[in-house]
A and B are shown apart, each in its own frame.
Chain A
C-alpha cells in the first residue's frame, strides 16, 4: 500500500540531488560540448538578451510552434505514415490540440490511437513534447539570472538548446531503452493483427470466421519517455498509462511515475544552486514535499483504504431538510440503498489497473496533478469523490513541485505574496533575496496569480450554468459539476489530465455524430490553456527583472531569513490559506457535496 509512494519519493529525492548539480552546470554553460554540437549552439546564439528580448523570443518561438503544429495536424490526411488513412481532425479539436501541446498541457480532446497517424505522432506530438517542456525550464533559468542581478538574462535559443539536447534527449534515451526492454512497441507500423486467445472474442465476420484483433502500435517508446520527463502527459493511446502497451509492467509504471517527478524536483534544487542559496531551496523543496506527501496520503487513504461508496449503499433511509432563503423548510427523504455484494477490502478498485498494485492508481493520480503532468494510469472519474480532492488540489495550488520551471515560478508568486503580507511582521519592509518588494513587483506577481483562479472559476461557472457544460456531463449533479471543474482546472494548470466522462471528443472531422458540446469545450479549454500559460510566465520574468535590479541589503539579525523552518511554515500557511480561500466553494460544490450527499440521490 505505502511501499510504492515511499519508494518513489525516496528514489526521486536521492536522484534529484546530484542531478540538480548537473542541471546547474549545463544551464550555467560551464560544459564543453563536442565540436558538432558546439557549432550548432554557436549558430543559435543570437547574443545576450535583456528581459524583454528574452520574453519576446520565447513568445515568438511559441507562435512558430503554434503555426507548425497547425500545419502538421492539417497535413495528416495527405502525409505519409498513415496506412490506416486517418482523416483530418475537427477544426475545433485541431485548435484545442495545437494549443494543448504548445502549452505543455496535453489535454487530449482526441484519442491518440484512434485519431492520429504515426506522422502526427512523430512530427507533431514528439517535437512539441520536447520543446514545450523546455519553455518553463528556460523561463525559470531567466528568472534565476534576473534574481542574481544580471543585466541580461542569457539567450533564449541557447537555453532551449541546452535543455533539449543536454538534458531531455539523454534522459529520454535512457528511459526509452528501459521501456523498450519492458515491452513497449517501437515501430513505424501502425497496426498489428493478432488472433485472440479466446476464440471469437472480437466477434465473427460475415463468413462466420472469428475476427482477429487489430492492435494499434507505433513509435510508442519514442513518445512516452518525454511524455513523462517533460510532464507533458499526452498519451500515445487514449487510455494513456493504463494501456499495457504504454505502460507494460510494474517496473515501467515505477519508472513512468519517477520520470514525471524527477525534473520538477530537481529544478527546485537547481534554483538554489544557481542562486547560491541551497538552504533556501531546501526549505522550498521541503514545503513542496510536505504538500505532496499530504496529497498522496490523502488520495491513498480515501481511495485505496476506503470502499467505493457507490457499492456500500446505506442501510437506512436518510432525512434531510432543505431551508429556502425565505426560511421555509422542506423535508426530503433519501431511501435506503442496498449494498452490492462486492468485496471492498482492497479499497475502491473501480477504474484501476491492478497490474500495478492497489494503491498505484491513487498515488499516480496525486502525483500527476501535483507535477502538472497529466498522464493517468487509472480513471480519475472513478476515484472516491473525496479522494479526487487530492487531484483537484494539486492542480489548484499548481506549485506542489508543479511543471518543470513553471511550478517553481508559481511557488515564487505565492512566496512573494507571503513575504509581502507576513514579512512585514518582523518590522522591516518586505524583502526577498535582500531586495525590497514594492508596488511594481507586487503588481506583476498579483497579475500572474489572478490568472489561474479566474480561468478556472469563470469558465466553470459559465459552463455549469449552460448546456455547454451540463450537456456534456456523463453523470448528474455534483459529480457532473466536478467533471466541468476538473476540465478547466486541468486546462488552467496546464496539466492535461482528464476526469473523463465529459463529452469532449469530437474526433475526426468526418464524425457523423459528434457530441453536442465538443466544440464549445474545445474552444473554451483551448483559450484557457493559452491564457493560463503565457501571462504567468511573462509577468514573473518581468517581476524578477525589476526585483533583481534593486540593491541587495546585506542580511542582519533584523532581516527575515528565508532558509528556516519558520519560513517554511510561513510558505505552507500562505499557500494553504490562499488556496483554500480561492477554491473551497468549488470543492464544496463538487467533491465534498458528492462525498457528504447520498449517492446518487438514493437511486
Chain B
C-alpha cells in the first residue's frame, strides 16, 4: 500500500518522500555496496557470501587460465561469468545499502526537527529567563506563547493551546493540547498557534523519547527479527542443499566423459562444462536463493520505513512483524469508533425531581471534570437556561476531580453535601457505600438512554439520585467500513468502553465489532487482554493515557499516541505521531505486507530455479551427451550462452525486484485462502514461468549483439 497517497499527509509529504529516491542517496548506496564486499560484512548474508566466494574462485581460475593457458576454454567466457557473479553480489549489497540509506534519510528528516530553539524557562523564584533548548533539563518548566516553538518534549501542566505538529506528522491541521487528561503531551519542535501553555520538560535535548526511538530505528536495521533469523537459516540450508546437488555433479560428469571417450575411442579425453569448476560455480549461484538472499534485509528495512512513512515509529522490526500476526484488536470506543466528542444532549430527571435541580447538580459536579464531556454538561445546563450564578462553585467547596478509576467527578459543597455525577455503576456503588438506597425508577432511565446508544451518567445529590444526564456521541464517518475491513483481514475487533452494557451493545451492533468490553476500567482492560493472550491470540491496542500504560506494555502491539502521556509512550512498542486511533489498521497492514513480501520473494526465488536447470543441465553435458539437448526447451544458442543467460537473469532479477522489496507486495483483505491462491499463482507459478522467458530473451539479445560465440 502506498502510504503517501493514503489518508495522511498528501502532497507535502509526497514531495518530502520523493526526495528520498534522490541521486545522492543512490550514490551513497553504490559506495556502500563496495564496502560491503568486505568478507566480514558480507558474511552476515550467508547466501551472498557463497556467491562472493564463488566469484573469487572464478577469478582464481581466470588467473590460472591466463598464466597456464587453458586452451580448451575461452578466457572471455570466464571473465564474463565472473563479472556477472560480482555484479550479483553488488546488486544484493546495493539493495540493502539503498534501503538502509533511505531509512537513515527518513530518520534524519524526523531528527531535523530537533534544532536548538530559544526557550523561556521559569525560575524557581517565579521569574523567567531566556535559555536555548540545549540547556533544558528534565523537570524544567517553560512558558510557550502563540507563535513560539516548543523547545522540548514535555507535558502541559497549565493552559490550553492549539499546536501545529506538522513538522513531525506532516498533518497541517492544528491539534489541541491541554493540561490534565490524556492530551497533555507535547513534542519538541512543534509550534504553538494560539494561547499560552506552561510545559514541564521531560527529556533533555537529544534524549527526548523520539530521539531515542529514532536512534532505535537506525540501529535496528541490523537487528534481525525471529522470522528473519528463521528465514536466513532456511536460505542457508537451501544453499547447502544446492551445494550437495552441485558438488557430486563433477564426478558424475566425469563418469560421462569417461564412458563417452571410451565409446568414441578417443586418445584425448572428452571434456564437458560439467567438470569445469567456474561453470559449476555459476550453476550453484543460479540455484541458491540469491534473489531473496539479496533482498531480505531490504524488505525488513523497508517495512520499518513504511511504518515511519505512515508516521509510526516502531521500536523494533519485530514489533512491525508482530503486527502482521495480530488476531485481536482492542479499539477504544471514544476517539476510535466515535468522534470522542460526547456532548450532553438531555437531562432525564427521576419522577418528582425538577429538571432544573438535576441541571444545576450535574453542572456543579462537572466542575471537577475537565474532559470535554464534563464541560459539555456545563454548556448544556447553561443552554437550557440555568443561571450561571447557580452553577458557579461556592467558595469552600471541594472539587473532586474525575479519574478513570472512580469514573466519577463531583463537588463537596461547603456544608459537606456531596454532589456526584458519573458512570451509573460507579454512582450506585458510591451510594451503597454511603448506605443510601437507589430508587427503582433509575434502571428505566438508564435503559432508555443506553438503548439509543447514548451514554447515561447518574447525578446524585447527597444520598439522593436526581436523574440521568444523556451523553450523545457521533460515530466517525465510515467507521463501519473500516471495521468491516479489519474483519476481512481476519482480525477480531473488540470495542472497549466505559459505557454500560446496553449502550456498548447498541453501538457494537451498529458498527459491527465482534465483541465489546463495557464498563471497562484499566484493570478490566488489562484482564481482558491477558485472557485473550492466554488463548493464544496476539493482541493490538492503542492508548494514550497513563492508565493505558500497563495494557500497552502487555499488548503484543501497543501503539501509543504521540499526544499521549509519556508513560503511555514508554509502555507501547510503537508511537503514532499523528495520534490517529484508526492507525492500527495501517500498522496491521504494514506488518502483513512485510511478511507477504518476504514469502512472495522467497517462493519466487526458489521457483525460478526450475527454468535455470533446463538451461544449464543440457549445456553442462553438451560436450559429452549431446542428446540431452532434448531437455533444452528454450533452444538456447550455445552451451556458454545458456549458462551466461541463466547467470545474467539471476543477477538482473535482483535490481528488478528492488522496487517490490521496498514497496512491498500489496496486501488485500481477501481472507487467507484467496490471498494464498493469488500469491501462489503470481509468485509461485509466475516464478516458474518468468525465467524461461527472461533467459531466452537474454540469450536472443546476446546473440543479436554478437556477444557470444
**CB-CB contacts below 8 Å: B67-110 with A:** 71-74
| A326 and B72 in contact, given A425-B603, A477-B259 (Cβ under 8 angstroms) | yes
Q: Which A residues touch B610, using CB under 8 A?
A: 577, 580-581
Shortest CB–CB separation between residue A521 and chain B, in angstroms? 16
Query: Within 8 Å of chain A (Cβ to Cβ): is B353?
Result: no
Q: Check A585/B324 contact, CB under 8 A, given A422-B603, A593-B627.
A: no
Whether B673 and A556, one on each chain, are in contact in the complex, defined by CB atoms closer than 8 angstroms, is: no
A558: chain B residues within 8 A (beta carbon): 327, 489-491, 592, 671-672
Which chain B residues lie closer than 8 Å to A193 at the CB level? none
Question: What is the bound-complex CA distance between A569 and B255, given in angstroms?
Answer: 38
Find B325's partner among A429, A442, A570, A593 (CB 8 Å cutoff): A429
Chain B residue at minimal CB-CB distance from A567: B676
Question: Which residues of A, 401-448, contact B by the 8 Å Cβ criterion?
Answer: 417, 420-430, 434, 436-439, 442-443, 446
With a cutoff of 8 Å between Cβ atoms, the chain B residues found around residue A430 in the complex are 227, 599
Contacts of A586 in B (CB 8 A): 252
- Let me know if B354 is at the binding interface, CB within 8 A: no
Min Cβ gap B257→A in Å is: 10
Determine which of A417, A436, A457 lies in contact with B245 in the assembled complex, contact meaning CB atoms within 8 Å. A457
Contact A446 B244 (CB under 8 A): no
Residue of B nearest to A576 (CB): B610
B273 pairs with A426, CB closer than 8 A? no
What is the bound-complex CA distance between A135 and B309, given in angstroms? Answer: 56
Is the Cβ of B244 less than 8 Å from the Cβ of A454? yes
Report 19 cross-chain contacts, Cβ distance below 8 Å, ordered by A residue: A323-B639, A325-B623, A422-B603, A422-B684, A424-B595, A425-B676, A427-B667, A428-B325, A437-B230, A449-B241, A477-B259, A478-B256, A558-B671, A559-B672, A570-B680, A581-B606, A582-B245, A592-B628, A596-B627
A-B contact count (CB 8 A): 268
Measured in the bound complex, the distance between the Cα atoms of B672 and A63 in whole Å is 47
Contact B676 A422 (CB under 8 A): yes
Please provide the chain B residues from 622 to 673 with a CB less than 8 Å away from any CB of chain A in the complex: 622-628, 630-631, 638-640, 665, 667, 671-673
B679 touching A465 by the CB < 8 A rule?
A: no
Residue of A nearest to B683 (CB): A425
Can you name the residue of chain B whose Cβ is closest to the Cβ of A550? B536
> Are B226's CB and A446's CB within 8 A?
no
- Cα distance, A175 to B329, chains bound together (Å): 59
Q: A443-B233, A449-B237 are in contact. List 4 more A-B contacts (CB 8 A).
A: A322-B626, A421-B234, A426-B672, A558-B327
Contacts A320-B626, A442-B234, A554-B537 given; does A326 touch B255 at CB 8 Å: no
Q: How large is the interface on B (under 10, 10 to 19, 20 to 34, 35 or more residues)?
A: 35 or more
Looking at B260, B271, B627, the one whose CB has the most chain A CB atoms below 10 A away is: B627
Q: How far is the CA of A134 from the CA of B643 in the complex (A)?
A: 48
Residue of B252, B487, B538 with most chain A CB atoms under a 10 A cut-off = B252
Whether A438 and B230, one on each chain, are in contact in the complex, defined by CB atoms closer than 8 angstroms, is: yes
Say whether B251 faces chain A, with CB atoms less than 8 Å apart.
yes
Q: How far is the CA of A429 from the CA of B598 in the complex (A)?
A: 10
- Please name the 5 residue pairs, one residue from A and one from B, whose CB atoms are nearest each other, closest first: A558-B490, A424-B599, A461-B248, A427-B592, A465-B251
Report if A481-B240 is in contact (Cβ < 8 Å); known contacts: A429-B227, A553-B327, A557-B487.
no
8 Å CB contact of A424 from B247, B596, B606, B673: B596
Closest beta carbon of chain A to B371's beta carbon, Å = 35
Asked if B264 is at the interface (CB within 8 A of a chain A CB), the reply is: yes
Closest residue of chain A to B709 (Cβ to Cβ) is A327
A75 CB, nearest partner CB in chain B, Å: 39
Q: What string of 1s and 0s marks CB contacts (under 8 Å) between A455-491 and chain B?
A: 0011011101110001000001110110000000000
Residues of chain A whose beta carbon lies under 8 Å from any beta carbon of chain B: 320-328, 332, 417, 420-430, 434, 436-439, 442-443, 446, 449-450, 453-454, 457-458, 460-462, 464-466, 470, 476-478, 480-481, 551-554, 556-561, 564, 566-567, 569-570, 573, 577-578, 580-582, 584-586, 588-589, 592-593, 596-598, 601
A564 touches B673 (CB 8 A): yes
| CB <8 Å contact, B680 and A566 | yes
B388-424 Cβ-contact flags toward A at 8 Å (1 or 0): 0000000000000000000000000000000000000
Given contacts A422-B680, A558-B489, contact A593 B628 (CB under 8 A): yes
User: Residue among B535, B613, B676 with the most chain A CB within 10 A?
Assistant: B676
Tell me if B298 is interfacial: C-beta within 8 Å of chain A. no
> Counting CB contacts under 8 A, is B617 at the interface?
yes
Q: Are B680 and A573 in contact (CB under 8 A)?
A: yes
B window 673-707: CB within 8 A of A: 673, 675-677, 679-680, 683-684, 688
A588 engages B617 (CB within 8 Å): yes
Chain B residue numbers with a CB within 8 Å of A438 are 226-227, 230
Residue of B nearest to A553 (CB): B536
Let me know if A428 and B241 touch, CB within 8 A.
Answer: no
- Do A425 and B255 contact each other (CB < 8 Å), given the known contacts A420-B234, A585-B617? no
Please, how many angstroms separate the alpha-carbon atoms of A438 and B241 in the complex? 20
A597 to B640, CA, bound (A): 22
B287 CB within 8 Å of chain A: yes
Is B295 located at the chain interface by the 8 A CB criterion? no
Q: Which residues of B contact A422 (CB under 8 A)?
A: 599, 602-603, 676, 679-680, 684
Tell me the smallest distance from the CB of A413 to a CB of chain B, in Å: 12
Q: Smallest CB-CB separation from A590: which chain B residue?
A: B252
Q: Which residue of B lies closest to A552 (CB)?
A: B536
Distance in angstroms from B130 CB to nearest chain A CB is 53
Q: Tell me, in angstroms, the Cα distance from A585 to B279 when the chains sit together.
A: 14
Complex: how many Å from CA A557 to CA B592? 14
User: Which of A420, A477, A588 is in CB contact (< 8 Å) with B621?
Assistant: A588
Residue picked from A425, A584, A586, A596, most chain B C-beta under 10 Å: A425
Asked if A556 meets B327 with Cβ closer than 8 Å, knowing A573-B684, A577-B610, the reply is yes
Task: List B contacts of A436 (CB < 8 A).
Answer: 325
Pair B73/A439 contact, Cβ less than 8 Å: no
The answer to whether A450 and B241 touch across the interface, beta carbons within 8 angstroms, is yes
Q: What separation, in Å, do the CA atoms of A420 and B640 have in the docked complex?
A: 36
Q: How far is the CA of A426 from the CA of B536 in the complex (A)?
A: 19
Interface membership of B249, Cβ < 8 A: yes
Query: When chains A and B are docked, how far (Å) is the Cα of A428 from the Cα of B271?
Result: 50
**Given A426-B675, A434-B536, A559-B672, CB of A584 within 8 Å of CB of B617:** yes
Complex Cα distance, B492 from A422, in Å, reads 24
Shortest CB-to-CB span from A570 to chain B, Å, is 6
From B276, B622, B631, B679, A592 is in contact (CB under 8 Å) with B631
